[in-house]
Structure formats: C-alpha cells, structure tokens
Amino acid sequence: MSEETEKDAPKKPAGRRKFELDPRLASYKGVWVFVEHERGVAHTVSWELMGEGRKLADKLGVPLAGVVMGAPGIQTRRFCEEAFHYGADLCYLMEDPLMADYRNQPFTKGLTDLVNAYQPEILLLGATTLGRDLAGSVATTLQTGLTADCTELNIDMENRSLAATRPTFGGSLLCTIVTLNYRPQMATVRPRVMSLPKPDMTRTGSIVEHALGMTESEIVTKVLEYIPDNLQGKPQLPFADIIVAGGRGMKRPENFQLIWDLAKVLGAEVGATRPIVQAGWVELDRQVGQSGKTVRPKLYIAAGISGAIQHRVGMDASDVIIAINSDPNAPIFDFATYGIVGNAMTILPALTEAFRQQLATLKVAV
C-alpha cells in the first residue's frame, strides 16, 4: 500500500482490549444473595436483591442462590423457603448456635468458607449496618473487589462481568465499576434502591447445608445484651407512600412550615435535601439522597429542590414525582413526572388548600 493510500484509508476505532478471565476463576458460577435477618424477621433488602439477582442470573444462564446463616431451628430454615419464593433456585444454609446473634468473626468465616467451597461469581449484600460490616470483611478475606452503595447492577455479556453503578466524586457523577480478574464480584445495595419482587408461593428449591466449624473460644466478641433501636416517633421515610420534601429553594426556615402543612393534609412524611439538614431546619433522619435515606414512595413532591445527582439517587425510583421550582432549567424537571415552574412559597399553600378541600369532599361522599 502506498503512502498516499495509507493516509486516505479510514482509521479503525480503537475499541476495548479483549479481556480473558484467569483460567483459575473460570469455575466460579452462580449469583448469590446474602439473606440478612434479625429476631426472626428477614430484612426486605434481601428480597429486593433477590429480585435483582434473578435478573442477573437469567442473563448469565446460572442458578440464583440465597445464603442463610443463623442458629439451628425452624425459623432459620424458613428463610430458605422465603428465598425460594422470591426467586432463588437453591439456598446455602449454615446453622450453628454461635450464629444466634450477628458477630463479625463467625459470619465472616462462615461466608468466606461457603464462597471458597462453592465458588459463586457474584455475591450481593444489603448496604445495611450489618451488611456493610460483613461485606467489607469478606471481601478482604477473599481478596476480591467490592462496590458499595450501588444504584444499578447489570451484566457485561462480553466478559460476564458485573457492571455495578454507584455515585462518585461526592455524588456529582455516576460511575460503573467492574471487577474483572477477581471472583466473586461483590456489591452492596442500599434498602429501597431496587424494587421488591412479588413472591411466588409455589416456588421451591434445594438446600445445601454446610458446617461452620468454629468454637466460642475462637471468637473475640461476646453478646451481652440485645437493645433494640427505639424508632417510635422517628421518621420512616424509606417506607412512606407519600413524601413532601423541600430544598434550598424554600429560602428561609420559616418557609419550610409550608412543607409541613402540605404533608399534614396528605398524611405524608417530610423529607429534605442535605443543605436543609445541615442548616438545622430538620433532623438528619429526614435527609433524602446519597448520604441520607433512599425512598420509593408512590408520590414524591419536591419543592425548591434543584435535582442534583446527590439527591436524585435517593428518590428517582418514586412512582410519581411532582417538582416545584422557579428555575425552568432545574435538573429535576428532566426526570420529574410533572413539573410546576413557579414560586414554591405561592404554590405550596394553594396545593395544600386544594388537597384539603378535595379530601374533605371525599370524606363527605363516603
């Protein structure tokens, strides 16, 4: 080929370098979900992850498994049955009196042993207090990667990699992380980020039992007493059907009363952005966003909220989002179901009164 012809020839796109998995890791197959439970009740994040794990397993063409660890008894085994109802094909069960209460040491050893014995390619845990503690320890003992607080999970079918998306750079961007030459690929997801699948009570599966092989003398920590959190009277945003939230567009703390007024009429919870919490207008339990609560209400009313990614990741899974903002170019209008351009201090009282009259009419009709 002449020099002129070489110059005129179209350049091929660089493309990605072909990835080849270490042959030693090729035997790792399957998607696992750690089933978190406490005092006889499974955490709903486990079933949310089971629904997401089912999608990943179907894409990979592999089984979905639950991992249940706890004290021996019918109660612990019942969690395996629940895992089947929510999509698991099988369940790895580890029963031992040492696992009656969560302690990092026995649970880390138990989950590490299970992974080494049965070799899953993906392991998912809830980003709860317990899940974060356990996931970090297990990833360390297995010397594998862990992507925390994910908002989306997918499979790169070109190399069977878990593509885990999470906020980064202070929440200003979303990045997708892959753990290529390590197995299992681990990720944690906060409660309410993924939708809760509908259980199929007819589904069954097989149970694989595995012993812990540990004695009490090997465990440094001891459980002296169980003291439950006192959540009575505390905001329960992750489970609210309706949330009215305010941001910096409310201007002054006295204006935030308009948020409370509308929430009272609707029987809703009150939420807020991080700047509002930092300013002391509301308590920390009402913060929605990356560093606050993740919510999935049927209705989310956002007043004076710009819609920055830090807030969006905590609420954009809401069924219906109504945004009120004086800036027509506010990012929140890009993903809101309905947008109202205007002064929140004028619109909120009008909405409150309209809802009050409508609800009063409905009560009279009933």
pLDDT band at 168 (very low <50, low <70, confident <90, very high): confident
For residue 12, the model assigns a pLDDT of 47
Task: Give me the chain's average pLDDT, please.
Answer: 91
Q: Report whether 328 contacts 307 (CB < 8 A).
A: no
Q: Where are the domains of the chain?
A: 23-218, 237-365
Is the preceding omega at residue 184 within 30 degrees of 0, hence cis? yes
pLDDT surpassing 70 at residue 116: yes
pLDDT band at 364 (very low <50, low <70, confident <90, very high): low
Over residues 68-96, the mean pLDDT reads 97
pLDDT surpassing 50 at residue 6: no
pLDDT band at 174 (very low <50, low <70, confident <90, very high): confident
For residue 230, the model assigns a pLDDT of 67
pLDDT band at 360 (very low <50, low <70, confident <90, very high): confident
CATH number of 237-365: 3.40.50.1220
Question: In angstroms, rounded to a whole number, what is the distance separating the alpha carbons of residues 313 and 311?
Answer: 6
**Same fold for the pair 23-218 and 237-365:** yes
Q: How many CB atoms lie within 10 A of CB 94?
A: 23
Q: Where are the beta strands (DSSP E) in 74-131?
A: 90-95, 122-126
pLDDT, one tens digit per residue, over 215-231 is: 999 999 999 988 877 65
Question: Which pair of structure tokens corresponds to residue 64?
Answer: 């979905």
CATH number of 23-218: 3.40.50.620
Return the higher-pLDDT residue of 158 and 97.
97
| Identity of residue 142 | L
Identify the bridge partners of residue 187 per DSSP, sorted by sequence position.
Answer: 124, 147
For residue 1, the model assigns a pLDDT of 46
Question: In angstroms, rounded to a whole number, what is the distance separating the alpha carbons of residues 49 and 35?
Answer: 9
Over residues 168-181, the mean pLDDT reads 81
Q: Report whether 332 contacts 302 (CB < 8 A).
A: yes
Give the pairing type, strands 161-168 and 152-156.
antiparallel
